[in-house]
Amino acid sequence: MSIEPDLLKIIACPVDKGPLELVDGWLVNPRLGHRYEVRDDVPILLRPDHVDAAQARSGR
């Protein structure tokens, strides 16, 4: 799993629009404590309140 350094510089949290950090394979917003999955090198930037609905639709 990797995120291109140039992408990491411009990627933002969908909630507060601030920068994210890569920590143990997750994109993390240290200000809000949110974390976002990276699947097959693709950041999944669903807002935390949308994750449950998306998982229910996908059957996970």
Alpha helices (H) in the chain, listed in sequence order: 5-10, 48-58
Q: Report the CATH number that the domain containing residue 30 is assigned in CATH.
A: 2.20.25
How many domains does one find in the chain? 1
Range of the domain at 53: 5-58
Half-sphere exposure of 4 (CA within 13 A, CB side): 5
Mean pLDDT score, 47-55:
63
**From the CB of residue 46, how many other CB atoms can be counted at a distance below 10 Å?**
15
Q: 1-45, pLDDT tens digit by residue?
A: 678 889 999 999 999 999 999 999 999 999 999 999 999 889 999
pLDDT at 56: 54
| Residues composing the chain | 60
